[in-house]
Amino acid sequence: MTKERENIALFDMDGTLCDYEKGLFSELEKLRSSDEPHFYPPITDTAPGYIRSRADLIRLSEEWWANLPKLKLGFDILEIAKGLDYRIMILTQGPRKNPHAWSGKKLWIDKNLGEDIDITITRDKGLVYGKVLVDDYPKYIERWLEWRPRGAVIMPSSEANKNFKHQQVIRYDGSNLEGVVNILKNAKLR
């Protein structure tokens, strides 16, 4: 007797279900002096050191992680996956040196998705099985796809991933919901 693989949809948090960039910008603005320029995430190595330090300080707060705003694009996809009877699992990367992020993410999940949802906090998303991955970050997507030649990825669009292309990835920008539905339906048939 063969066991059918479960229809699992893996959902990232930051930039997928949570509006990480909006949350970080909002907190950076609270710390900005009136004579300083605005810095909108992502905060890269080219940002001034004091901005990078402020962003690091903000991310040390469990409360900040727990209260990130929801990202509509991710929740659109989540509702479709639920409607198609996917088993929803959260797959998020845990910063190596920030345990407050780990606990803050769990608090966010409990508040926004319920305490019973399955969660994997990992350093390597490529190790986790699912038929579909919903993630905004190209490096995590590429790692996951290394081991899933038939896997499907739905990528919530952002400025940071606008140039990413892969034959197994559909970018969702809010206007192509029908394509997302088709990807989710087809993945269940595999």
pLDDT digits (tens, 9 = 90+) for 113-152: 999 999 999 999 999 999 999 999 999 999 999 999 999 9
- Distance, in Å, from the CA atom of 102 to the CA atom of 49, rounded to the nearest integer, reads 25
Question: 15 in a domain, yes or no?
Answer: yes
For residues 104 and 73, membership in a common domain is answered with yes
For residues 45 and 100, membership in a common domain is answered with no
For residues 43 and 98, membership in a common domain is answered with no
Point out the least confidently predicted range of 3-17, 136-150, 151-165: 3-17
For residues 143 and 110, membership in a common domain is answered with yes
For residues 145 and 78, membership in a common domain is answered with yes
Give the helix/strand (H/E) hosting 107: helix 99-112
Over the stretch 34-93, which tens digit does the pLDDT of each residue have? Answer: 999 888 877 888 889 999 999 999 999 999 999 999 999 999 999 999 999 999 999 999
For residues 96 and 156, membership in a common domain is answered with yes
Angle between helix axes 72-83 and 177-189 (nearest 10 degrees) is 40
Phi/psi region, residue 65 (left: phi>0; alpha: psi -120 to 50; beta: rest), is alpha
For residues 104 and 55, membership in a common domain is answered with no
For residues 61 and 105, membership in a common domain is answered with no
Count the domains in the chain.
2
Question: 53 in a domain, yes or no?
Answer: yes
Query: Could you tell me the residue range of the domain that residue 159 belongs to?
Result: 8-19+69-189
> What pTM was computed for the model?
0.93
Which residues of 12-145 form beta strands (DSSP E)? 87-93, 118-122, 132-134
